[in-house]
Structures are given as C-alpha cells and as structure tokens.
Amino acid sequence: MLTAAAAAATGVAASRAAGGTAYAAPGGPRRDVRERLRALIARMSLEEKVGQLFVMRVYGHSATAPDAADVEANRKEIGVSNAAELIAKYHVGGIIYFSWTHNTRDPRQIAELSNGIQRAGAAQRVPVPLLIATDQEHGIVARIGAPATLFPGAMALAAGGSREDVETVGRISGAELYAMGIRQDYAPTADVNVNPANPVIGVRSFGADPKAVARFVAAEVKGYQAAGVAATAKHFPGHGDTDTDSHIGIPYIHHSAEEWERLDAPPFKAAIAAGIDSIMTAHIVVPAFDKSEDPATLSRPILTGILRERLGYDGVVVTDSLGMEGVRKKYGDDRVPVLALRAGVDQLLNPPDLEAAYKGVLTAVGNGELSEREIDEKLLRILALKERRGLFAGPYTSRRAVDRTVGTKRHLRTADKIADRTTTLLVNEGGLLPLSRRSTRRVLVVGADPAAPSGTGGPPTGVLARTLGELGFTATALSTGTAPTQAQTDAAVAALAEHDAVVVATYNVTAGSSQRGLVRALLDTGKPVVQLAIRNPYDIAQLDGVKAALASYSWTDVELRAAARVIAGRREPKGRLPVPVMRADAPGTELFPIGHGLTY
C-alpha cells in the first residue's frame, strides 16, 4: 500500500504524512495545488464534474461483491449492483457508510470496502479518489460499533467539562476512522440545545451554553483534523431550538437575528476559527433570515449571505441527507439539489433518487440556471479537501493499520477514563448513593431498553446488571421497556420483593409516560430506588419522590459502565449538567441549573 496507509496507524501524524501541508486556512490550498486541481477539473466532462458533487449511500460490505440482498437493494434504489458500478455510472465524489446499508460489519471489512471503493475511483477515465464519510458522533449516534472504540457522546463529554478530553475523543476516533479508510466524519454537532423538547438533537449537543458549546466544538474539530479526518460542524445555522424532527417534518427556528447571533452562531464561528473542513446544513426554516420560508439547505440568504459572506467561510458546505422530509416537502427530488447548489452548497448528500438528482443538476447547467464555472468552483473546494486529507497522495489503508489502531487496549482504557468523568449525580437524599454491598447487595435493574446503538453489549438493563455484578453485587436485569404496561410494572414490583434495591433506567420521561407509573410503584415498595436517565437528563423533573437520581446521557456500554461504577461507589460522580433542568409544573423555573452536580 501507499505510505499514507502506514501513517494512518499513528493517527496524529497521518494528515502531515499524507499531504496535509497543502492546507492554508481559510483561504484554501496553495497556489500550486490549486492550479494542479484546476488542471484536473479541466480534464473532466460535465457529467464527471456533476457526479463529484454527490455523496451517496450504497448497500453492501464489499465494493464489488455484496450479498444478494444488498445487490437487490442497490438495483431497486440506485439502479446499480454495487459501489463500483455506482462510481462508474455516476462518478460520485463520496460514499457515506451506514450500519443499515451493511457497510460496517467490522474494522477489517470496512477497510477493505474503503480500498475497493478507492480502486473503483482510480479506474475512472479521470481518476479521482473518493471522500468516504460516516456519522460517528459517539453516544447515541455511532455507525461503527465494537471492536472500534466507542466514546461518550457530546452532552456527556460536556458534563465532564474537559476540552482536553473532547480533543482526545476527536483524535482517537479520527485515527481509527482514518485506519478504516474514512476521511470525513459528520461531527461535531454544533447545535446549542436550548429546547428540552428537541426530538432530534438533545444529547447530541454539547449543551445549552453557547460559549461552552463553542469551546467543545473547536476542541473536537482540532482532534479530528489532527488525525487526518475532515470534521463537519452541523447543522447550520443551528438546530437546537425546535420541537420538530427534520427527518419527518419541517422545523421552524423563530430566533431573531440578535438571538441567533447570541445563541446559535458561536459554535459555528469557533469551528471556522479552528479551520474546520466542512459544515453541514440544516433542513430548518429561519424566517428572520429568509422570508421565502425555504429550508436553510436551499436558502441563499443563509448559506451564501450569512455562512459565506458574513462568517467568511470558504470550506466545503455539505447538505444534510436529501432524503429527509424537511427538505422534500416543498420541491421535487430533481429540484432540491439544484436549489441547494444555487444557495451555496458544494456536496449533495444521499439523495433519495440519485438518477433524478443527477439529471436535475445537468439540466440546470444546460439551461443556464447553473453555470459550469459555478460547478468548477464547488468541485475545487471538494478536491482541495481531498488533497488536504491526503487522498491524492494515499487513498488506501491496510489491515496492519487497522490492527495497530482500531479498538486498542489503550484506546478502550482512555474511553473508560473519560466516561468516568461524565456521570452526573442530580439527587442524593439521605446519602442513598453509593449503594452498599452490605445492606443493598441484591440489586434489581429495570427500565427502558431502547434499540441499542451499534456495538453495544446488550440492552441497558443487562449492561448495568452485568457491570454491577462484576463490582460485587448480585444483580438481576428485567426489561420493562420505554412504555411499560401495567403487567410489566407489576412484574417489576414483584421482582423487587426478592431484592434489596432497584436501579431504574428511564428514557425521555414525559408527563404522559407510563414510566412515571413504574417509578411511583417502585417507590411505594419502600425499597431504595435509584433512577438513571439514559438519554436526556430532564427525566427527574417528571419523577416526584425520587431520592437518588443520575444522568448518563446515553445508553451505550461505555457510559452505562461508568454509571454503574458511580452507583457502586467505585468512582466519584464528577459530571455537571450542561443544560438546565426545568420544573415540570413551572417550565420557566429551574429545578437544576447548568453546572449542577453532586459528589459523594
């Protein structure tokens, strides 16, 4: 393999060893590099140029020989059999990996898939390496699971309060992605989560304090890009204050220009100052900036007027997935890519109908709606990013790089140490925690078992019970789900009769949630009840009478194990709330402010 593959094993050195010196932020590549890239563009046909603007999903674990079911899915959705055919037909500039498209079985397989994709890119008439990307935010969004190293997510890291930890997460995660052939990560989330009802951001955000979020975003950008991986701040201009999920609807952000400047802008400004390679758009409507009520992804006043001109950003702008309803409600799938490009976008991510999207852009160039010169400028930004991340010097990786880098004992130990600084103790009346192995040795673990992110060791109740068992307790797991029935609640109460204490894992408890009834029934037994919020930390506001409450900010193994160590007294609770928790009966009043967190 090329020398960049060996450099991947060291992570931090990878970007320098693979051509990283070509970068001159924020003005773009050096003149000699720019001229070389312009000469490459001049060799391309219009069809090849347009294809380079697309980043597409593709089913299968292999670039040339996916499983039969994946071949069928590719033919149905894209009109090709595999990744190699996709590249040959549409000349796409990037591929996005998902677990649900069966791209991410294990690190060695991922690396070979990446190499196969790059071989297909090299076989084109005008050879161009592909930018392979994924969403590896950690926490509740992780496309690549164990044995890769999984870290706490953004809000948990913010609870830990250490910018050094956040940068370390970016550096280690980036090194592992690089070793698997992935050079772009759609992280960090730069949204400021000021709305507790936000259904799509929540714990993916570093919190509700714009200045703190900005500091953590900058740290993670530095970590990823030091490892040779392009970071991507999302979702511009800010998705934190909405109660609508843009996957299924069109969110509105009703901030004034002044509110946006104070609440939403700081993390994106910090990312730009840190030299971020790419920024992802949001499918949100911001009437203060665009009276047309087009989503930001399609809004020239937002993407060109604010992001490009006011903030001075000249890096790559990538759309959020074009298959999301937030961008499809108003226009057809052939028009959305054209409007996005006109607005200021460079990369078009995952259109639902690639044929329609591709032809739509070609038609727009043909009729003068888009100029070929505009396409060239967008392509230059994309190629400059590929150059900066070493793809022209060395697009391939190796099994040796994977084995030396991904999921090493050192990385896994670091993940656990970082997680130990994140668990937040919200309530501890009467010193109920830590649990005593003398008086509360037999522990029942009940509660929510949502679908686990990739690479977890099982349902949350099982992970908690297993870890408590390893720490000297006799622990039993009993799943009651995110919406426990009366029968499940009765079964939990009956099981508690044979135990000394109960840990109940809660998941986004609302006023109408049957989880409230479960917790109340457990409290009524008189046995010690420990409540652990395994997603958003707001649950305690809905749970009167709880005397011991914690937040782990996710239900992935690394965070659950850390919470179990706190419950067992093996670690001190060190986390501090990155968001306020408001009273349920008085939403304008804080129950717990930002920074709240108890210790033993």
**Are residues 390 and 14 in contact, defined by beta-carbon separation less than 8 angstroms?**
yes
CA distance 527 to 533: 19
Other Cβ atoms within 10 Å of 514 Cβ, number: 17
**Are residues 463 and 590 in contact, defined by beta-carbon separation less than 8 angstroms?**
no
Query: What are the residue boundaries of the structural domains of the chain, listed by start?
Result: 3-405, 423-592
Q: What is the pLDDT of residue 19?
A: 34
Which residues are catalytically annotated? 247, 320
First to last CA, the chain: 53
Question: Tens of pLDDT along 244-294?
Answer: 777 777 888 899 999 999 999 999 999 999 999 999 999 999 999 999 989
Q: Which two tokens stand for residue 404?
A: 């030396």
Question: Tens of pLDDT along 83-104?
Answer: 999 999 999 999 999 999 999 9
Name which of 51, 88, 81, 76 is nearest 64 in CA terms: 81
What is the rounded average pLDDT for all residues in the chain?
93
Question: Tens of pLDDT along 165-215?
Answer: 999 999 999 999 999 999 999 999 999 999 988 888 999 999 999 999 999
Q: Which residues pair with 562 in a beta bridge?
A: none
Residues 6+ apart with CB under 8 A from 270: 214, 215, 217, 218
DSSP-derived letter for residue 450 is: P
**Are residues 271 and 313 in contact, defined by beta-carbon separation less than 8 angstroms?**
no
Q: Which two tokens stand for residue 295?
A: 């989503």
Q: What is the pLDDT of residue 27?
A: 52
| CA atoms within 13 Å, Cβ hemisphere of 368 | 0
Q: What percent of the chain has pLDDT over 70?
A: 94
Q: What is the pLDDT of residue 328?
A: 86
CATH code of the region 423-592: 3.40.50.1700
Which uninterrupted H or E stretch holds 385? helix 372-388
CATH topology for the 3-405 domain: TIM Barrel (3.20.20)
The answer on pLDDT for 18 being more than 80 is: no
**Are residues 229 and 174 in contact, defined by beta-carbon separation less than 8 angstroms?**
yes
